[in-house]
Structure 1
Amino acid sequence: MSTYRLSNQGLEIAEQARQAKRWKRQDEKLARAALVSVATLKRFWGQQPIRADSFEHVCRALGLEDWQRLVEVEEERSLDFPQFAWDEFWVGREKLVVQLSERLQNSCRVLMLAGMTGIGKTALAEKLVLELQPLPNFSRINLDHREKTVEFSAIATQLLETWKQQISDSDRRDPQRLLNWLVSYLQQTPCFLLIDSLENVLRGSEQTGWSEFIDPLWVQFFQKLLAVETSASTVLLTSQDSPAQLVELGQRYGHLYQCCVLDGLTPEEQMSLFRQIGLLVEDPVVCDYLSRIGCAYEGHPLALRVIAGEISQAPFDGDVQAYWKRYGDEIERVKQLQQTAEIEGPHDALKLAQYSRNLRQRVRQRIDRTLRRLTEEVPLAYVVLCFGAVYRRPVPERFWLRSLEGRSLDENQQLAVLDALYDRYLAEQVVMDGDLMIRQHNLIRSIALDHLKNLQP
């Protein structure tokens, strides 16, 4: 992805345009109009490189349609890899970035970032790649498109060809040879491999509840990579599911493998995100509304970014109080329902992921896609998830298992169904007053309640 900076002449032109609009250099009105952060404006006016699309947006917000003539051509450069999720609005996770960077630079050969959709796995992976630059032989495999093959041999061929290895027709017909070749290459040649959306080469097991690799060669690949005495390479994974075979390998090679499960942003990180996007978080009233939003969404980065973007743009134009007046009832309702005496609320009809078009398109659709995959792989887990959504607060596991009554399942089979939900981060175990309980993320519950309507007669 290209980055641009202002030339000296471009700075003069931009200054004249800014003064004509009576904006300050780091004016929040300019930040909202350009859909960039105030920090990006500071770099823009300081003639420091920023992303090409951000550079264009700032110029157009200033009324400069011929923005190309403001670019310092000699400074045009390209980042080492295309970014899909990380950008200048990144906030938080500083300690985690330092910890994981150190692990990747030392003994860790395979690091998996796991968590629910939209929690920031891909963004964190890209941040780690940027922090570790320059990287030797960096390659990225994005498995986010289901129409692409799940066969390991196709991925191995793609990687080896990327690294200028000559693959014959005979090689292509021999998956085991390709596997050994790839492991040997990674062992001898320093490489950094990012595999995004690993869940798309997994399938759920109704017997165990765990996700497993569709192609067993994936298991062999990770087993061989972790078993060799030395390796010059590192593999970074992101996944919504936790593959059983990889978990088992991680237990055997704990010093070489790590799984990091991501949670939502902390309250402080949430405020940093809102501030970075240009919202006035210093105002006590505004800060209170934003805190309530962050709490309702449990710090979910994607949802909060969508909401902050909506507030920044027309018709709200940064007016948090106007946004709250329009949608606050839906957001506040989550907390109110959790505090009611009734533990069940099958008709709560929460709208956290659908009260606006942007939330429906960018948040609801992603979670719906995850639930569709669950219905295909472990249908009973989908049923339990939907019926479990009636509970407004954490409850014992037996409450969720009521939906399986009459299905002739023994205890192990019932627990396997719950494992399928834990494995996909669609439900989580928490300890309250010494008791083990089960709960759902507010976003998941909001959508699962909607799906429940289709299951009930």
Structure 2
Amino acid sequence: MSLKTSDQGLEVIDALRRKKGWCKSAIKWAGDANVAQSTLKRFWRKEPILEENFKAICQAVGVQNWQDIIDYQKSPSLPEEISEVSHYINRPPVETSCFQEILQPGALIRIKAPRKMGKTLLMQKIFAHAEDHNYQTVTLNLLWVEASVLTDLNKFLRCLCYRISRRLKLENQVSEIWNPDASSNDNCTAFLEECILSQLDTPLVLGLDNVDWIFHHPAVASDFFRLLRSWHDEAKSYDLLKNLRLIVVHSTEVYIPLNINHSPFNVGLSIGLPEFTPQQVLSFAQRYGLDWQSPQVEQLMALIGGHPYLIQQALEAIKRHPHLGLKQLLDSASTASSIYRNHLRALWEYLQQDSELIAAMEKVVTADQAIELSADQAFKLHSMGLVQWQGDEVESSCRLYHLYFRNQLRGIQTLSS
């Protein structure tokens, strides 16, 4: 089974590790417990880890009654493998390629896929691999940046630098480094070199999630992306920047105009995430302890394809509610009682904010075959996961979306007639 620490347990552990003079991710601690440093970090984040690893970490620091450290409030309903891997299913050769690339000096990995396809989980897997090699990692979800900050490049980059130093628990020296006579990009680079990279003994992996948010703010987008590209290019000849590894995560196509020589979106390793195959869905179901065979997988995928999030929601619902059969789940999937109702409602509300986009989706769900849309509309619907490409044309990405949005749009037509 999997275990995690209680708040009181962490206080006990913290006192013992301080007594030994260990940091929270000490190499010696991980070595004595025979666990990866990434596992030790998950322990401190109160995330479930395997019982044998939990016990070894406690005993290595001097806790004998390790059962007293356990948080017994966690839900026992999922099998240990699901908790430990956070629902992640490998999609070879994606992971191997990323693991190899992140160890290269000045690496840049670009992960692009529609929403809820597992981009952030993949980045977390890459982080865990980097941490196993004693790299430092920082992830910044750019959705936290207020729109008001994104009207001023200087303010945005200062905010970015502050966030990085805070995550690494380094002194905030933004004001000391920022030179009013230098450009914002130069100041940001100077801060990164002098206050971050030069203070670390190991490479730093910087993950930028939801980069799409920046696309909507032209006041900062062009110069910010030029900055990322310059870091990657200069790493080829500048030793300090070789220790910076970048991961850029986004859902949409890059639709803002960028000079090809100044864009980070045409260099480095490009990763797209495919849908799950039937074999991967079967493997996923087995992790949930479900006695499934190919027929059940085929029935489920006929409705939702291999979409990771939709698959996971279905398997979790069946696992948690044994009375809910697959047939009942499928029959109610596009109705008000659907397990997907909140997800579908959120997509519908988002569509309703853009009359052109909702008109484009109407064309898709009323057509008998794939159709051609304007590039902008097709890219937006694809980034939402609602359509898939068939050459230069698009069609509904799965039958669930086709049925739900067709019914919703029929409702609008009925009300307006």
Verify same fold: TM over 0.5: yes
Distance in 2, Cα, partners of 1:157 & 1:43: 35
Tell me which residue corresponds to 1:364: 344
Aligned partner letter, 1:101: F
Tell me the alpha carbon deviations over residues 56-91 of structure 1, each in whole angstroms, 9 at most, x when there is no partner. Answer: xxxxxxxxxxxx9762759xxxxxxxxxx9835322
Decide which of 292, 303, 306 is 2:310's aligned counterpart: 303
Tell me which residue corresponds to 1:222: 228
Q: Are residues 1:239 and 2:250 paired?
A: yes
**TM superposition shift of 1:450:** 5.2
Tell me which residue corresponds to 2:402: 445
Distance in 2, Cα, partners of 1:326 & 1:313: 15
Q: 1:415 to 1:307 in 2, by over 3 A?
A: closer
**TM superposition shift of 1:121:** 0.8
Tell me which residue corresponds to 1:289: 296
Q: Are residues 1:71 and 2:80 paired?
A: no
Q: % of aligned pairs identical?
A: 11
Distance in 2, Cα, partners of 1:450 & 1:250: 46
Tell me which residue corresponds to 1:336: none
Q: 1:254 to 1:312 in 2, by over 3 A?
A: closer
Q: Are residues 1:383 and 2:359 paired?
A: yes
Tell me the alpha carbon deviations over residues 397-450 of structure 1, each in whole angstroms, 9 at most, x when there is no partner. Answer: 1xx4xxxxxxxxxxxxx444444445665433324xxxx432221254345435
**TM superposition shift of 1:166:** 1.3
Tell me which residue corresponds to 2:125: 127
Q: Are residues 1:136 and 2:135 paired?
A: yes
Tell me the alpha carbon deviations over residues 175-229 of structure 1, each in whole angstroms, 9 at most, x when there is no partner. Answer: 445423245457766311112222222229xxxxxxx685443223223223314
- For structure 2, which runs of at least 5 residues remain unmatched after alignment? 7-46, 58-63, 71-82, 151-155
Asked if the contact 1:91/1:269 (under 8 Å) is kept, the reply is yes
Distance in 2, Cα, partners of 1:155 & 1:369: 31
Of 265-274 and 251-260, more deviation after overlay is shown by 251-260
Q: 1:279 to 1:247 in 2, by over 3 A?
A: farther
Distance in 1, Cα, partners of 2:273 & 2:119: 7
Asked if the contact 2:3/2:50 (under 8 Å) is kept, the reply is no
Q: Are residues 1:171 and 2:169 paired?
A: no
Tell me the alpha carbon deviations over residues 138-167 of structure 1, each in whole angstroms, 9 at most, x when there is no partner. Answer: 111123447575434322332245443512
Decide which of 419, 428, 438 is 2:388's aligned counterpart: 428
Q: 1:323 to 1:158 in 2, by over 3 A?
A: same
Q: 1:131 to 1:197 in 2, by over 3 A?
A: same
Tell me the alpha carbon deviations over residues 33-63 of structure 1, each in whole angstroms, 9 at most, x when there is no partner. Answer: xxxxxxx99954xx3439x9xxxxxxxxxxx
**TM superposition shift of 1:131:** 2.1
Aligned residues: 333
Distance in 1, Cα, partners of 2:226 & 2:87: 39
- RMSD after superposition: 4.2
Tell me which residue corresponds to 1:101: 99
Decide which of 319, 324, 328 is 2:330's aligned counterpart: 328
Aligned partner letter, 1:364: L
Distance in 2, Cα, partners of 1:246 & 1:2: 49
SS in 2 for 1:71: helix
Q: 1:301 to 1:369 in 2, by over 3 A?
A: farther
Q: 1:107 to 1:160 in 2, by over 3 A?
A: same
Distance in 2, Cα, partners of 1:86 & 1:370: 33
Q: 1:258 to 1:277 in 2, by over 3 A?
A: same
Q: 1:440 to 1:214 in 2, by over 3 A?
A: farther
**TM superposition shift of 1:120:** 0.8
Distance in 2, Cα, partners of 1:256 & 1:292: 40
Asked if the contact 2:281/2:306 (under 8 Å) is kept, the reply is yes
Asked if the contact 2:388/2:394 (under 8 Å) is kept, the reply is yes
Tell me which residue corresponds to 2:78: none
Aligned partner letter, 2:136: N
Tell me the alpha carbon deviations over residues 347-390 of structure 1, each in whole angstroms, 9 at most, x when there is no partner. Answer: xxx44xx642x4223x3355347546xx46xx534431333222
Distance in 1, Cα, partners of 2:366 & 2:214: 31
SS in 2 for 1:123: helix
Asked if the contact 2:48/2:84 (under 8 Å) is kept, the reply is no
Distance in 1, Cα, partners of 2:175 & 2:286: 54
SS in 2 for 1:241: coil
Distance in 1, Cα, partners of 2:402 & 2:191: 42
Distance in 1, Cα, partners of 2:412 & 2:184: 43
Distance in 1, Cα, partners of 2:411 & 2:191: 46
Q: 1:116 to 1:86 in 2, by over 3 A?
A: farther
SS in 1 for 2:127: helix
Q: Are residues 1:197 and 2:234 paired?
A: no
Tell me which residue corresponds to 1:343: none
Q: Are residues 1:181 and 2:190 paired?
A: yes
Aligned partner letter, 2:232: L
Asked if the contact 2:109/2:270 (under 8 Å) is kept, the reply is yes
